Amino acid sequence: MIRLSLLQMQTAGADTAANLARIEQAAIEAAEAGATLLLTPELGVTSYGGGQAILDLAEPADGEIVSCLGEIARRTGIAIVAGFAEKADGAVYNSAVYTDGVARPSIYRKSHLYGDYERGLFSPEKPETCVFDHHGIKLGMLICYDVEFPENVRRLAQAGVEMVLVPTATPMGASGRFIAEKMIPVRCFENQIFIAYANNCGRDGDFAYAGQSVIAAPDGSVLAAAELTEALLTADIDPALYAGSRSENTYLDDL
């Protein structure tokens, strides 16, 4: 079992120092609540709505952003998943990093870019199975639009992942509500896994976000959910509690 905290966050736009300070404060609060892992939104460090300015903020995986996140993790004793613009091999990716400040960070790059805005800024990565262990639980990562493709979640579930961490920047509107309230619990149920879906909130550039971050369980139940404003959600993730659900809903075995 692990205890997970999720930060639904209003970014300070392209002010990476302010965004990192906000994440650090949330890490302190999450650690005080007994969590060992903090999940934050898509591009939460460099902002989603910054447009072309994001390209100037992009850094390699061994740059200052990931180093700073690792230092926050070391100081607070809590691992962090955070979204940032990653520069690599002459391209810029919409990426997320898992770091505990000790082991080598795990990096995931978004494969399914949404709309002309994202395609004008980032390069897509081929769909990949990013899997790592956290306190005995096997975790995977996707970013926002990626989770809306059932193949991506199923691939991780077939790799033995027990929980998928999803930084997101879902816009306000009916579709955003549907994804958070309906799609995420269904993805959990059809794969018998947990999903934590961490959204931005408020406004950032031309974007207004849906909020409504959610942590859902293998039986489709919601363990914690936010509304529209900043929030820090915390939930216990215990796969053993859902053995009954797995025995009744044997989708992975019956493929």
* H helix runs in the chain, sequence order: 16-32, 53-57, 64-76, 115-119, 150-158, 174-178, 184-191, 243-248, 251-254
Give first-to-last CA distance, the chain, whole Å.
Answer: 28
Which residue, 48, 52, 74, is CA-closest to 167? 48
CA distance 81 to 106: 9
Strand partners, 107: 97
Mapped onto helix, strand or coil, the DSSP state of residue 244 is helix
Count CB-CB contacts under 10 A for residue 49. 20
Query: Which positions are annotated as active-site residues?
Result: 42, 110, 144
Sheet holding 2-8, edge to edge: 106-109, 91-99, 79-88, 37-39, 2-8, 231-237
The residue behind tokens 């059809």 is 190
